[in-house]
Amino acid sequence: MKTFLAATAAALAALALVVGVAAATPNGADTLVTVGSPPTPFPQNKQNEPAAVVNPADPTIAAAGANEEVDLEACNNRADQTCPFTAGVGTSGIYFSDDGGSSWMQPTYTGWTARDCLGLVGTSSAPADNCDPHVGPIGTLPRYFESGLVSDGDPAVGFGPQPAANGTFSWSNGWRLYYANLTSNFSAVRSETTFKGFEAIAVSRLDSQSYAAAKAGDNAAWKAPVIVTKQNAALFSDHEMVAVDDASSSPFFGNVYTCNAAFRSQQASGPEPIVVNSSSDGGDTWTTRQVSPAVNNNTISGRQDCAVNTDSKGTLYVFWDGIDPQTKTLAIFVIRSFDGGKSFERPAQLVTHIDETGILDPASGDLTNDGVAGARDGSFPTVDVANGAPTGAGATDQIVLAWSNGPTPSDMHPGPNEQARVMWSRNQGRTWTSAGVASPASDRPDFPAIAISPDGGDAYLTYMDFLQPWQSTTASPRLFEGVVRHADVDRTTGAIGAWSDVHRAPTGDARGSSANALTGEFLGDYDYAFATNDFVVAVWNDARNAADCPAIDAYRQDVVNGTAAGTSTDPTRPAPNNDCPATFGNTDIRGGSYADPTP
C-alpha cells in the first residue's frame, strides 16, 4: 500500500489543487437541472427520481440523472385520454455541469424517439394523429436502441478512476462516470431479446477523454450499456443504487458496486432478495451475489430500497429495508464485505426499527404521503460515508443514515408529523448512535437524502416537505417544497450538531403532477445529495411550474369513490392536453450547489 501511494503522490498532489472549488448557488436560490424539458405538453414535461454526483477528482464536474419523459409521445397522439410510455423509447435522462452543480446542460443524442408525435385534438385517422416512434433526437442515454435495449429510468450515478491497460486504477488515468438504470428489451420477440427476464439493471459508462464529445451529443462517446444483473426468465430487477470505491487508500480502489431488489416472479408474494453486483475491471464484467433472505410471504413481506457505499479502507456496506422476523415490523438492515464484495459477513445486522410513513390510498393500494390519489411514499434508508475521497486522506469513515419516520397525519386524524431521523456510526456499523431528528417539527419530510463531506466535518440533508396533512379528497391544494439543511459534525467524536436551513424552494401543488395512467400523482421515489469538503449538490423533484387541473382532480376523486373505472378505456377520463392548463404535469428536477455555511 505504501508503495502504491508513493507511486501516485504526484497525481494526488494535482488533485488537491482542484478540491477547493467553491459552490456558486446563493442560499435562497436554486437552479433547473432538467434544462431540456419543455413546459408542455404532458408527459414530455415530466421528470422525477433525480440522482446527482460530483467528481471527486475534479469537483467542477457534476453529473445527474432523472426519469425523463421528453422523448415520449404526447397524450394527443392517437387517443387523447391516454398518455402511454411509448414502446421502445428510453427514459433515463442525463445532465452535466461544469461549475460544480450551479448550472446544467442536457445533451441531445440519437435514438428511438417519439418527441415529435404530438397528435391532434380528437381521435382521427390523419397521419399526424397516428405518429409512430422512429430514430431521431433523444434527451436520454444513448446506445440503448442500438443494443436492443430500452433505458427505463431509476437512475443512479457515480464517478470513479479509470482503469489503465494493465488493469490498475489511478486518478491519473482519468475518471469514469457510471450510470446505472433499469432496462428492458427493445423487442418482445423472444428470439430477438438481449437478456432473459422482464427488467434488468444496466450500466452505461463515460470516460474523461470522451467528456467533451458526450456534451456535444456524440453517441459514440459512451460505452455500450452492460447488463450487470444475473438474469433469468422470471426475474424483475428493481430500484438499484450504485457506488464506486473512490478513495485511493482503499485496497479495492476502483471497484464499482450496484445493489437492487431481485423479484424472482411477477407475483407480489414471490421471492425478493437484495443482490449486489460487483466489478473490479471498470464495469466490463460483473459478479452477482445474494446478500439477504429471499422469502416473501404473509409473515415476512420481502425487502426493498437498498443503498450501497464504501469507506476509505474498502469496506462495502449494503443497506435495505425489510421486516424483522422477530417483531414482524419494518426495520433497516446492513451487511458488510471486507474483500471487495467477494463475500459478506452474515447474518445481516438490524440497525433500527422504523415506523412507516404514508397512508393507504384506497384506489391505488399504495401508501401515499399527501392524500387519496396522491404521490406514493417510502421510508427507505439513505446512506453516506466520510471516506476522504479522492485520496482517503483525513477520512473519519463515519457512516450517516437517514430515513423518513412516521406516522403520517391526516385531515381526519391529526397527529404528529413525520420526521427525518438520523443515525451514525464510527466503527464500521457495528454500533449506532442516534442523532435525533434533522427536520423541524413543522415539516413533513418525504424522500430524505443525506450526505457527509469526505473529511467528515459537515452533514447535509435534502427532502420534499409537504405543508398540509394527508387529505381524504382531491379538492384542496397539496403544497410541498424542496428543502436543503446542514449540520456541523465533530470530526473527533462524530457528534452531529444542530441542523439549520440552507434553502427552502418555492412551493408547488402535488396535484399538478401525474402518473402516465392519470389516476394519481407521481413525484418519484427519491431525492439526492452529494457533498464535497466545500459544498453540497442537492437535487429534488419540484412542482412549482406544474398547474393543477380541476378536471383531473375530479376524475381522480371519482376513481377513489368507485364511480370511475380508472382504465385507459374509461369514457369519463379527461384529455390532459385539452381539458387542463397547458403546464399540467410539468414537474422538474431542481437543485443547487450550496457552500458550507460554516467553513
d(CA 37, CA 555) in angstroms, rounded, equals 27
Give the alpha-carbon dihedral of 164, 166, 167, 170, to 10 degrees: -40
Cβ neighbours of residue 196 under 8 Å, at least 6 residues apart?
231, 232, 233, 235
d(CA 58, CA 110) in angstroms, rounded, equals 28
Grid coordinates of 73:
409521445
d(CA 8, CA 67) in angstroms, rounded, equals 38
Q: What is the 3-state secondary structure (H, E, C) of 151-214?
A: ECCCCEEEEEEEECCCCCEEEEEEEEEEEEEEEEECCCCHHHCCCCCCEEEEEEEEEHHHHHHH
3-state helix, strand, coil in the chain (%, to 5): 10, 40, 55
Locate cell 401525474: which residue? 514
pLDDT tens track for 117-150? 999 999 999 999 999 999 999 999 999 999 999 9
Helix (H, G, I), strand (E, B) or coil at 269: coil
Please report the sign of the dihedral spanned by the C-alpha atoms of residue 74, residue 79, residue 82, residue 84: negative
pLDDT tens track for 483-497? 999 999 999 999 999
Q: Are 584 and 514 in contact (CB under 8 A)?
A: yes
pLDDT exceeds cutoff 90 at 302: no
d(CA 393, CA 379) in angstroms, rounded, equals 33
Share of the chain above pLDDT 70, in %: 95
The predicted model gives 523-551 an average pLDDT of 97
Residue 26's pLDDT is 86
Q: Structural domain boundaries of the chain?
A: 142-212+220-353
Region of 485 please: left (phi>0), alpha (psi -120 to 50) or beta.
Answer: beta
d(CA 115, CA 117) in angstroms, rounded, equals 6
Instruction: Read off the pTM.
Output: 0.95
Nearest CA among 435, 423, 446 for reference residue 527: 446
The predicted model gives 267-285 an average pLDDT of 88
pLDDT exceeds cutoff 60 at 590: yes
Sequence letter at residue 112: W
190 pLDDT band (50/70/90 cuts)? low
CATH top-level class of 142-212+220-353? mainly beta
d(CA 372, CA 393) in angstroms, rounded, equals 50
Residue 234's pLDDT is 82
The predicted model gives 314-339 an average pLDDT of 96
Q: Is 545 exposed, middle or buried (0-12, 13-18, 19+ CB in 10 A)?
A: middle
Mean pLDDT of the chain: 93
d(CA 319, CA 539) in angstroms, rounded, equals 22
pLDDT exceeds cutoff 50 at 4: no
400 pLDDT band (50/70/90 cuts)? very high
Cβ neighbours of residue 339 under 8 Å, at least 6 residues apart?
252
Cβ neighbours of residue 90 under 8 Å, at least 6 residues apart?
71, 111, 112, 138, 140, 141, 144, 145, 150, 151, 152
